[in-house]
Amino acid sequence: MMNTFRTGMLLAALTALFLVCGFLLGGEAGMVIALGIAVATNLFAYWNADKVVLRMYGARQVDARSAPQFHGLVEQLAHRAGMPMPKVFIIDNPQPNAFATGRNPQNAAVAATTGLLKSLSQEEVAGVMAHELAHVKNRDTLTMTVTATIAGALGMLANFALFFGGNRNSPFGLIGTILVMILAPLAAMLVQMAISRTREYAADKGGAEICGRPEWLASALEKIDAAARRTDNTAAERNPATAHMFIINPLHAHSVDSLFSTHPATANRVRRLRELSVAAGRAQGRPWG
């Protein structure tokens, strides 16, 4: 219920921002046009944002025949979590990373990069995918996917103002156009910050419970964080509004990306996971497989 309420509030705020930007660009007529665009964007994001994001990263769907080990691992984890089996995708990218998307557990997808599958152990991959399944189970994926799509639309609105300008007959004229050029990109950043960082902590905890071994995820986070700092994710650099979807910020390679930081410090996440591991005790972990 809380996730649904949060998503609704976020969409309402973004719709209001579209209206403000439309008014600044074209007065009342611009506001009406912006309202139509906002409604269409919200509806499109709800039904299609997951497909857009997967296509954006060139993700290819795999099954038990094309990727038996990875697909089988996700299937085991989904069974342990008591969840429907999500669609499984692989992204051809050297940076180890992963994300989940979809409007609900019945229409969910999880994706991992080739870099993650090559550089992590099977146990660490299990920890990562358990984290992503926890996002699905908590219904965080709708929030993440919709915000990524609408934040991208806000960026397009800013580009429109930059290249085409606004209606000089609007109440704010050139000043309104300049405000949109400034406000829309800032909104894309604020949208990501609006997604509480506690979501990642909750998914870490849920992922540890699903796979039964908090240290697997802790080790994976350390490796992914170190690799992300030195490996570019070109697709993410072109679409920074999607950065909050990944398990580790994919934009670490450039200092400017700190503006879009939406993840808790990796060291804090690892510390909490290892505290969970100590509290539970290795002997208390549920058997794997």
pLDDT band at 142 (very low <50, low <70, confident <90, very high): confident
51-55, 80-84, 180-184, 223-227, range with the lowest pLDDT:
180-184
Whether residue 229 is contained in a domain is answered as: yes
Smallest CA-to-CA distance from 228 within 245, 247, 244, 251 is with 251
pLDDT at 70: 98
Cβ of 1: how many Cβ atoms within 10 Å? 6
CA 88, CA 130: separation in Å to the nearest integer? 13
Indicate whether 151 belongs to any domain: no
Whether 65 maps to a domain, the answer reads yes
pLDDT of residue 257: 44
Number of domains in the chain: 1
**Residue 252 is part of a domain; what is its CATH number?**
3.30.2010.10
* Rounded distance between C-alpha atoms, residue 20 and residue 16, angstroms: 6
Say which of 124, 132, 200, 215 is annotated catalytic: 132
Catalytic-residue membership of 237: no
In this predicted model, what pLDDT tens digit does every residue of 201-241 receive, in sequence order?
989 999 999 999 999 999 999 999 999 989 989 999 888 87
Instruction: Answer yes or no: is 184 within a domain.
Output: no
Residue 259 has pLDDT above 50, yes or no: no
Comparing 16 with 220, which gets the higher pLDDT? 220
In this prediction, residue 287 carries a pLDDT of 47
Residue 224 · residue 247 · CB < 8 Å: yes
Instruction: Establish if 269 belongs to a structural domain.
Output: yes
Please tell me what DSSP assigns to residue 251: T
Domain that holds residue 242: 53-141+197-284
Q: Is residue 57 part of a domain?
A: yes
Residue 71 lies in a domain: yes
Distance between CA atoms of residues 208 and 258, nearest Å: 27
**Quick one: pLDDT at residue 30?**
63
